[in-house]
Amino acid sequence: MSLAPTPAKINSLDPRLANQIAAGEVVERPASVVKEVLENALDAGATRVDIDIDSAGTKMIRIRDNGSGITPEDLPLALARHATSKIGSLEDLEQVRSLGFRGEALASIGAVSRLSLTSNSNPESSEGRVAISEGRDMAAQVKPASHPRGTTVEVRDLFYNTPARRKFLRTEKTEFKHLEEVVKRLALSRFDVDFTLRHNQKVIHQLRSGQSQSEMQRRVATVCGPAFMEQAIYTETGTPELKLWGWVGLPTFSRSQGDLQYFFVNGRVIRDKLVAHAVKQAYRDVLYHGRHPAFVLYLELDPALVDVNVHPTKHEVRFRDGRAVHNFLFSSLHRALADVRPGVETLPEGTLDTAEGDRINTLTGEVAPVELTQGGLSWGGGQQHAVYDRPAAGAGAAQMQSYGSLHPPPRIEMPEQGAEEDIPPLGYALAQLKGIYILSENAQGLILVDMHAAHERITYERLKSAAAQEGIRSQPLLVPQSVAVSQREVEIATEYTDVFHKLGMDVAEGGEELLLIREIPVNLRDSDVEQLLRDVLSDLIEYGSSDRISAHMDEILSTMACHGSVRANRRLTIPEMNALLRDMEETERSGQCNHGRPTWTALSIEELDKLFLRGR
């Protein structure tokens, strides 16, 4: 006997329940409320927002703005689902400039809290209206209320009517961290807006607006910490159609987590796999294994070339031409990082003239207090000391490789004392310490160089450029290596045959689900080429590009460089040390060794004076 299933009865959801379900997507925790309400304030053209929070937002969130306000007629509509002033047609959606457009935030928040929306759109009056929506009855009642032009949204007792949700909330500390992170991101996206964040009546952040370089720098330093600013370089590249600007942390300022990574696409903060991959690839050669770079970057492009309607909270985007964006990001950042070497001016015009706060003074050439940390003197960000504003001295090729070998030392003349502007960025060697460090004097003070680390980078960069000049030599395999793959992978491999050829690999179709490796680069002889091929294919499928083969070859060169470099405990003569210093000034990426450790640091006279409590 078989039981035929009875069809379930279909009901239309009542609007309150529908909103509560939608709220599940939009309102995960207090931080989500803050995000939506703040975005509305910014969309309304506010230049100032005040955020008041009680108990990490579970008791109360109040956000007041001085934006355009909402007219009395529209007030009840603002709380209704799928009601928005931001788009009216599908065409609008193709080039959204506003942060919101789905018209569901206020309705969703109102469905899971006690929400009041007070607004006034008339700059000449202080007469506003308040609409109150309580999860239970959505029908908002509207009453007069005094309010200057702008809007205040107050959200109390979040999730009071959805206990299941409330159970998912973490400790007050954690919830507040999330909420603060939202404020930070939005503050980084809009330097022209004042932000104040108060928690339990205490001011946590007060960020004043300002769009000059130094004002923006001040905000980034406040939000990301002064240490980031001290060890970041400013970069700006591209065209008005595709532009990238912002701050990238030096490889020596890496993190154990990817928690200091802010990426904005047309002012919207996003987390995107393609972007993450391009950035990672750009740092590949300079970052310590397993470390994460820190950055605050802004990508600007025609809004029609990005789809922001991929995700309800709009954290992800889709680029129309992902491959072009990937290439642009990678090459811009790669270039910026290659210039991290002594003597290269990495800061933009205008950063040098204004002193902002204590620590940022490092950027102005004045010196922040030297920190005594557990490990002794902290790495003080000497690499970006903007005082190195001249082209590096033209030592170089002639002295190549002479240190660390038995060749006669090159002759470097010490210039007449006194001509300060003739002193090269890394100065002139004074002595060698413990067979490890070179001590050198430049115009500002003392320079310390880790000679093995520095030499390793120089040798590595040379091996790389030699390899690039020579081209990749490949060798055919006597017996082609067959690799079982998916049909999709066979397709991709055939599509990218040329790319493989350029990298010295010959990969051919061997069957519906089979590839044949027929030729490989000579120096990958001892590598696991099958694994390499698989990784490259998965990159190509995901990002349309892969740098694994060259990364792997670079790794081999890097190992060779490490073995071929001056070892610790080898005594160098003063001319040998000077030759090394001059080479560092000439070599790309010489600010850090192949493993991402710094190769040198500086202690200015002012810093030394502070150490000895020597007032000036």
Residue 140 lies near Mg ion (rule: CB under 5 A): no
| C-alpha triplet 288, 283, 314: angle, nearest 5° | 115
Candidates 87, 105, 317, 515: give the one binding Mg ion (CB under 5 A).
105
Candidates 102, 147, 165, 292: give the one binding ligand ADP (CB under 6 A).
102
Give 244's contacts (C-beta < 8 A, 6+ positions apart): 235, 236, 237, 238, 297, 298, 299, 300, 328, 329, 332, 333
- Binders of ligand ADP among residues 81 to 100 (CB under 6 A) are 83-86, 100
* Distance, CA of 551 to CA of 136 (rounded, Å): 59
Residue 84 lies near Mg ion (rule: CB under 5 A): no
Q: Which is nearer to Mg ion, 105 or 472 (CB)?
A: 105
Residue 461 binding partner per list ligand ADP, Mg ion, none, with a CB distance cut-off of 5 to 8 Å that depends on partner kind: none
Residue 529: left (phi > 0), alpha (psi -120 to 50), or beta?
Answer: alpha
Helix (H, G, I), strand (E, B) or coil at 76: helix
Which residue number places its CB atom closest to ligand ADP? 100
Q: Which is nearer to Mg ion, 48 or 86 (CB)?
A: 86
Q: Given the DSSP bridges, would you call strands 506-511 and 514-521 parallel, antiparallel or unpaired?
A: antiparallel
Candidates 22, 51, 53, 70: give the one binding ligand ADP (CB under 6 A).
70
Q: Which is nearer to ligand ADP, 130 or 492 (CB)?
A: 130
* Distance, CA of 455 to CA of 511 (rounded, Å): 48
Provide the token pair at 114. Answer: 């006690």
Residue 343 lies near Mg ion (rule: CB under 5 A): no
Provide the token pair at 144. Answer: 């007069």
Q: Which is nearer to ligand ADP, 44 or 260 (CB)?
A: 44
Residue 102 binding partner per list Mg ion, ligand ADP, none, with a CB distance cut-off of 5 to 8 Å that depends on partner kind: ligand ADP
Residue 492 binding partner per list Mg ion, ligand ADP, none, with a CB distance cut-off of 5 to 8 Å that depends on partner kind: none
What's at 193, amino acid-wise?
V
* Distance, CA of 231 to CA of 220 (rounded, Å): 12
Residue 44 binding partner per list ligand ADP, Mg ion, none, with a CB distance cut-off of 5 to 8 Å that depends on partner kind: ligand ADP
Cβ–Cβ under 8 Å, residues 333 and 232: no
Min dist. Cβ of residue 592 to ligand ADP (A): 44
- Binders of ligand ADP among residues 109 to 168 (CB under 6 A) are 151
Provide the token pair at 21. Answer: 């379900």
Residue 186 lies near ligand ADP (rule: CB under 6 A): no
Residue 151 lies near Mg ion (rule: CB under 5 A): no
Candidates 41, 179, 294, 505: give the one binding ligand ADP (CB under 6 A).
41
Residue 175 lies near ligand ADP (rule: CB under 6 A): no
Q: CA distances (Å), 486 to each of 493, 534, 545, in order?
A: 11, 10, 19
- The pair phi, psi for residue 500, each rounded to 5°, is -65, -40
Residue 70 binding partner per list ligand ADP, Mg ion, none, with a CB distance cut-off of 5 to 8 Å that depends on partner kind: ligand ADP
Q: Which is nearer to ligand ADP, 101 or 460 (CB)?
A: 101
* Distance, CA of 453 to CA of 566 (rounded, Å): 9
Q: Which is nearer to Mg ion, 25 or 371 (CB)?
A: 25
Nearest to 298 by CA among 350, 258, 261, 349: 261
Residue 278 lies near ligand ADP (rule: CB under 6 A): no
Residue 78 lies near ligand ADP (rule: CB under 6 A): yes
What's at 391, amino acid-wise?
P
Residue 101 lies near ligand ADP (rule: CB under 6 A): yes
Number of residues that bind Mg ion (CB under 5 A): 3
Binding segment for ligand ADP (CB under 6 A), chosen from 6-14, 18-26, 102-110, 430-438, is 102-110
| Residues in the chain, overall count | 616
Min dist. Cβ of residue 197 to ligand ADP (A): 17
- b (16+ CB within 10 A) / e for 461-473: bbbbeebeeeebe
Q: CA distances (Å), 9 to each of 6, 12, 241, 379, in order?
A: 9, 10, 54, 69
Which residue number places its CB atom closest to Mg ion? 100
Residues at the interface with ligand ADP (CB under 6 A): 36, 40-41, 44, 65, 67-70, 78, 83-86, 100-107, 151
Residues at the interface with Mg ion (CB under 5 A): 40, 100, 105
